[in-house]
Structure 1
Amino acid sequence: MVVRVAIKPVLLEWAIKRSGRSMSEIEHKFPKVQQWLAESYQPSFKQLEDFAAFTYTPFGYFFLQAPPKEMLPIPLYRTLDSQQEPNEASVNLIDTIQTMQSRQNWLRDYLIERGADPLSFVQSANIHDNVAEVARHIRKTLKLTTDWAAEHTTWTDALNFLRETIEDIGILVVVNGIVGNNTHRKLDPQEFRGFVLVDEYSPLLFINGADGKAAQMFTLAHELAHVFFGYSAAFDLRGSLPSADLIEVKCDQVAAEFLVPAYEFKVAWDQAEKTDNIFQHMARKFKVSEIVIARRSLDLAFIDKPAFFSFYERYQAEERKTKAAQSGGGNFFANQKFRIGKRFAESVILATKEGSLLYSEAYQLTGLRGKTFDEFANSIGYEV
């Protein structure tokens, strides 16, 4: 006997809108969805389960009296005015933050059980502190010199080094452009470029990997500042500019000073003006992308906003072309190191090896199962 389930149409409509899927996609998968909406026919229990999975909706939500008001657990700072509610977000962003919170909570408990001390640098800066002093404090914590980036061959090398250095001091860094490993659920960089979950044991930085590579270093530095100030948040940094909120402005200023100190920039600018391409020359010197240099030029009033946005749009267009020309999604296991985060992955693998974490729990935390989990562990130097 097939069990039919009476569902309020408003819940079905809400789930469809929330998923971001088109009605044609829904109707192709569920030919009788219009009848469900009209209440002339009811879905079976199995059909409702499939519908929940297809629309990324928790199954229990369909038995509520009205759609829940889902809000992000952290502020979402937007650069430009928006018609959206302050903390209204896509299901992809909500699901991603919830997954990261689960990982963070597990690692926090794991570290506390093993007697780890809280990280002293978390919330060690005050929002009213001098920008240059905070940037120096961050560099000192990371054991970096003022010209650390210049020691690397390219700015992408410098970016990789910075990410690894941040993980070395106890911060989780995740880079992903999709929800988990679901290539059909792409994260929109127009909605957010990254977010930060501050915690004194397991702070987490998430970079939207769908964003252009050139912008990711600034996003990473901006997120790092959030940890030192002690503010969790998501942000879009539209056009590489912050929202008007004080904490966003301050994190932006610190990130800029951390990557390209004002004094060194001003000294180098005089020499760069004699070259054919100022931004390119400065980018090579400081080992950051040209976007970061252009943004710093704007901050320090070497160029105005129209000049900055003109350059920014051209650079983004070229980067999109380059990205479109690239084929394939890269090595799966190499991607996992970024999508899961090296520090978190190592902790999960070690906990599994010592028997304090069940394999089923490890699979749930990493999104990798069975042989795939084992092969990933091997790929980063662990045998399970």
Structure 2
Amino acid sequence: MPKVNPLILRWARETAGLSVEDAADKLGIGDARGVAGIDRLAMLEDGQVEPTRPQLIKMSTQYRRPLLTFYLAEPPVTAARGEDFRTLPDEYARRDAALVDTLLREVRARQEMVRSLLESEEEAEPLDFVASYDIRRGAEGLATVISERLGFSLQSFRSSNGRGTPKGFAYLRERAEAAGIFVLLIGNLGSHHSALNVELFRGFALSDKVAPFVVINDQDSEQAWSFTLLHELAHIWLGQTGVSGGRPTSDIETFCNDVAGRILLPSAEIAGEVALRGARQDVVIARIGEIAELRQISHSMVAYKLYREGIIDQAIWSSVTAVFRQQWLNNKAAQRARARENEGGPSYYLVRRHRLGNRLLRLSKRMLADGALSPSKAAAILGVKPNNVFSLTDGVA
């Protein structure tokens, strides 16, 4: 058996977003012969001790790396995340960035498998809208182009019915998937312990002519998903692969936000809100709530739109956004408390289908039936265990 480069061990742990302490715990490396578990792992990473095969298998599982990775001569180059459209707060550490890199790497691999599958089955029809728009044509123009291509109806968005999802989002997602885009909801790396804060990652787009992917952080409020989806669709039309965060400080992020805002809340609908200029914060908050509830959109999105239209100033926008953020955090905490008290809840398969989206599930189900996709490869594409594949896809119409 070839020797393992200890640099690989350290690289695999760090890019999985784990500290030495967390990794030792997950790997089951405890204290032994007077040596602490974290020191034993450090000795492996320093090359003082050669890892056993069982240890490498555990690392493969916990670090989310193929076993063969540990026998490479050198650590591979970190997978590119595309353009990084975020401006992150100082408090987000290297571990947080590593978690996003891990998620991006996993979704990229799934996207590549989907594209290869479509190509091998001669179903790889290039989508002409990907990378078709020049930003110099303006946000209003792109909002119109996206709406027309999706066949998006604002009336349908506001009145459609969905189960277990925001009404408008279910409709918008269906239109995006019908156009050929895979839309996934992912907010962690498999457990609530690896949840990704929306300030760190709100969504990302993987621009591709055959299999474009959009991922939305489902840790965000459900009412915000539609805005994020349209924001990432703007990146797809611009041909940009990259990750977006919660603070739009760059020109491109402002542009994509403006596109989404024009689609979900046309300027004409809030032109009459001039009474909010100079109004007290509580008055602004109450009116934003009314606008948001009527139109199936988030309070923060309405606040942003009012700010961009010059109806409220930056100070009031920042203050009401902070209020809405705290309200959402409080509501989420209350929901978690209720969930702990109540037994049952949605089934694993129902939740998983919702996160994966119908386009990816239907493709996998059809390719499984045709024999073009093995259960193990379908499991990799869907991000589940092989023994869950058929139960998951059998419930898809």
With normalisation by structure 2, the TM-score equals 0.81
The more displaced of 20-29 and 332-341 is: 20-29
| 2:52 counterpart letter in structure 1 | S
Alignment CA distance shift 1:20-1:285 (3 Å): same
1:215 maps to amino acid: A
Amino acid at match of 1:157: K
Task: Note if contact 2:206-2:242 (Cα within 8 Å) is conserved in structure 1.
Answer: yes
8 Å contact from structure 2 (residues 307, 313) kept in 1: yes
Counterpart of 1:217 in structure 2 is 226
C-alpha separation in 2, matches of 1:127 and 1:190? 25
Does the CA-based 8 Å contact 2:364-2:393 persist in structure 1?
Answer: no
Verify: 1:280 aligned to 2:289, yes or no. yes
- State the alpha-carbon separation in 2 of the partners of residues 371 and 64 from structure 1: 30
Mark the runs of 5 or more structure 1 residues left unpaired by the alignment: none
Which whole-Å deviations, capped at 9, do the CAs of 1:302-348 have from their partners, x for residues lacking one? 11222112111221112112112222674311221233221011011
Report the counterpart of residue 190 of structure 1 in structure 2: 199
Q: Residues 42, 302 of structure 1: CA spacing in aligned structure 2 closer, same or farther, 3 A cutoff?
A: same
1:72 match: 80
Structure 1 residues 148 and 124: alpha-carbon distance in aligned structure 2, compared to 1, 3 A threshold:
farther
Aligned-residue identity in percent? 24
Residue-by-residue CA offset, 1:12-37 (whole Å, 9 max, x unaligned): 44444333334333344213324435
Structure 1 counterpart of 2:168, which letter? Answer: A
Match of 1:226 in 2: 235
- Over 3 Å counting, the alpha-carbon distance change for 1:35 and 1:135 in structure 2 is closer
Runs of at least 4 residues off by over 6 Å: 81-85, 271-276
Instruction: Tell whether 2:125 aligns with 1:120.
Output: no
- Greater mean deviation of Cα atoms: 354-363 or 73-82: 73-82
Q: 1:265 aligns with which of 270, 287, 295?
A: 270
Alignment of 1:279-358 (within 5 A): 279-326=288-335, 327=339, 330-358=346-374
Match of 1:139 in 2: 147
Q: Which residue is equivalent to 2:249?
A: 243
Post-superposition CA distance 1:203-229 (Å, at most 9, x none)? 111001122323322211101111222
User: Shift in Å at residue 84 of structure 1?
Assistant: 9.3
Instruction: Tell me which amino acid in the other structure corresponds to 1:163.
Output: R
1:97 to 2:104 alignment: yes
Question: What secondary structure does 1:72 align onto?
Answer: coil
Q: 1:207 to 1:248 in 2, by over 3 A?
A: same
- Report Cα offsets for 1:77-131 as digits up to 9, x if no partner: 113576999x997343233223322333333344443456322322232111132
Deviation larger for 323-332 or 291-300: 323-332
Evaluate the alpha carbon distance shift between residue 27 and residue 151 of structure 1 in structure 2; reply closer, same or farther with a 3 A threshold: closer
Higher mean alpha-carbon deviation, 190-199 vs 359-368, is at 359-368
**2:379 alignment partner, one of 350, 363, 367:** 363
1:58-88 per-residue CA deviation (whole Å, 9 max, x = no partner) reads: 5455455654442424111113576999x99
CA-atom RMSD in angstroms? 3.3
How far apart, CA to CA, are the structure 1 residues paired with 2:312 and 2:176? 31
